[in-house]
Amino acid sequence: DGGITQSPKYLFRKEGQNVTLSCEQNLNHDAMYWYRQDPGQGLRLIYYSQIVNDFQKGDIAEGYSVSREKKESFPLTVTSAQKNPTAFYLCASSDRGAYEQYFGPGTRLTVT
């Protein structure tokens, strides 16, 4: 069953703690992306990676970090430097040379 998995579905953390969100894909896609979605708003790009061991900042990278050590995995760390971390986080992937991006089910992070 091919697809993108994100875990956990819901995550709760205290302010000041770093937290890592998981994203795994078995579609053999080269590119992977992290987006943030706030209530009633569109998606904003945090980081993206077009190949293993390489990634670029998106529009709202401050307070986040990523790694891309394996093709199938692209974890996102929300650091304590992120001012408003509570949001719905979406991971996506796309094939080499393809425009279509496919999304995972998302992780809802709540920081109090």
Partner 1 sequence: QQQVKQSPQSLIVQKGGIPIINCAYENTAFDYFPWYQQFPGKGPALLIAIRPDVSEKKEGRFTISFNKSAKQFSLHIMDSQPGDSATYFCAASGAAGNKLTFGGGTRVLVKP
Binding residues for partner 1, per CB under 8 A?
A: 4, 6, 30-31, 33, 35, 40-45, 48, 50, 58, 90, 94, 96-106, 108
Q: Closest distance between partner 1 and the C-beta of residue 93, in Å? A: 11
Nearer to partner 1, 46 or 111 (CB): 46
Q: Largest Cα–Cα distance in the chain?
A: 41
Q: Which amino acid is at 3?
A: G
Q: Closest distance between partner 1 and the C-beta of residue 41, in Å? A: 6
CB 19 within 8 A of CB 9: no
Report the C-alpha gap between 51 and 68 in whole angstroms: 8
